[in-house]
Copies of this chain bind each other. A is one copy, B any other.
Amino acid sequence: MNYNIAVIPGDGIGPDIVEQGKLVLDKVGEKFGHSFEYKEVLAGGIAIDKVGEPLPQETIDVCKKSDSVLLGAVGGPKWDNLADRPEKALLGLRSELELFANIRPATMFDQLRDACPLKDEIIGDGGLDLVVVRELTGGIYFGERGRQGEKAFDTMEYGVDEIKRIAKVGFDIAMKRNKKVTSIDKANILENSRLWRSVVEEMAKDYPEVEVNHLYVDNGAMQLVINPKQFDVILTGNMFGDILSDEASMITGSIGMLPSASLGSSKLGMYEPIHGSAPDIAGMDKANPIATILSVAMMLRYSFDLEDEAKAIEKAVEEVLEDGYRTGDIMSKGMKSIGTKEMGSLIASKL
C-alpha cells in the first residue's frame, strides 16, 4: 500500500534524525511491499525564520491530508524570547489535528542498563517497561488564561467526554499489556481531578479485567523513583503527564531512545522522539536517531496497523545495540562509537 507522510524536520537535530527515520521506513517499504511518500513542511523555529510564524497554515493543511506526521524536534534558545515561540507549533498541531492522546512508553533498554540512574535493586530483573498515556488537547494547556492588573491566571479544565476518551485509550492499551491502570490526579485539591477520578472509576467498570488504582500526583512522582515497577499504564492529564512522562523516561536511563505517538480519533497520528532539538550538535552527525526510528515503528503500529513491520524495526534496533554500536549520548566503555547516519544505516540493514 501507499502511505502519505507529512514530515516536519523542525529545528536543531530534527533534520538529522528525521532523515534516518525515512531511511528505515523506505527499507521497511522495500522489504514488506509498501511505499511511503513524504511531503516536507515547516514548523517551529525554522518556520519563524522562513515565513514569520511557527505553524504556517500550509503545514496544518498538509498534515490534515496525510496519513500520518513524522516530527523531528522544534525549538531552541534562538527563539526563546519571542512571543510566538516554536513550541506553539506543537500545541497548534496537537489541537488542529485533535491528537488528544499522547502515548509515551518509558522502556529501559537492557543494553543501556548502566545509564539508568536508579539502583539495580530497584530495577530488578526484566528492566523497566511502562507507558504514560497523557491527555494532550485539554487541561491547563488549553484553558482560558490572561492577566488582570498585577495578576496572571491559567485555567485547568476538563469535561466528562474529554476524560472518557483518554481513559478509554489508557484502558485499551492496558488490555494489550499487563492490565493495570494507575490514574494520577490531585483529587484531594482540584475539582477537575475529582471529575477525572470519577470518570475513570466509571470507565473501569467496563474493563473488569483491568486493575485500577489512583494516586495523587505528588505521590506518583515519588513512586516513580522508589518503585517504578508497580506501573503498567499511567493515565493522566496534560500537565501532570508532561511532568511524569519526563520523569519516567529519565529513570529508564534511555531518554535518547524513547519514541512517542500522539493520536486522535482517526488513524492520523503524529510521531516524534521525546527528546529535544539539541541545537549544539545539529548537523554534526552526532544525534541519536533511535528515538525517531522507534517513533516510526509506532507510526506503523498505530496509524497503519502494520504490527509485523513495527516489530521488525524494534528488533533491528535491539540487534544493533546487541552488536555494541552506540551514538555518543549512549556510549559506554567497550562499545563502538558511531554517528547518526551509520546508526540509521545499520538499523536499516538489519531489516
Contacts and interface: CB of A to CB of B under 8 A. Distances in A.
Contact of A117 (B119, B141, B219): B119
A152 B117 contact: no
Contacts of A194: 152
Contacts of A218: 242-243, 245-246
B156 A151 contact: no
What is the copy number of this chain in the assembly?
2
Given A186-B239, A191-B145, A160 B156 contact: no
Interface stretch (A221-229, A304-312, A326-334, A340-348): A221-229
Contact of A146 (B191, B244, B255): B191
Contacts of A154: 155-157, 189-193
A141 B189 contact: yes
A282 interface: no
Nearest to A195: B152
A288 to B, nearest CB: 16
Interface in A207-254: 217-219, 221-222, 224-226, 239, 242-247, 249-251
Interface string A134-148: 000000110101110
Interface string A242-272: 1111110111000100000000000000000
A284 to B, nearest CB: 23
Contact of A150 (B91, B146, B160, B221): B160
A85 interface: yes
A54 to B, nearest CB: 12
Given A153-B157, A159-B150, A226 B243 contact: no
Main secondary structure of the interface of A (DSSP, over half): helix
A188 interface: yes
A110 interface: no
A122 interface: yes
A320 interface: no
Given A151-B157, A159-B150, A140 B222 contact: no
Contacts of A85: 188
A275 to B, nearest CB: 11
A285 interface: no
Interface of A: 85, 87, 91, 116-119, 122, 140-141, 143, 145-147, 150-161, 186, 188-195, 217-219, 221-222, 224-226, 239, 242-247, 249-251, 255
7 closest A-B pairs by CB: A152-B195, A153-B157, A222-B250, A218-B246, A221-B247, A145-B191, A151-B159
7 contacts: A117-B118, A151-B159, A152-B195, A153-B155, A154-B157, A218-B245, A221-B246
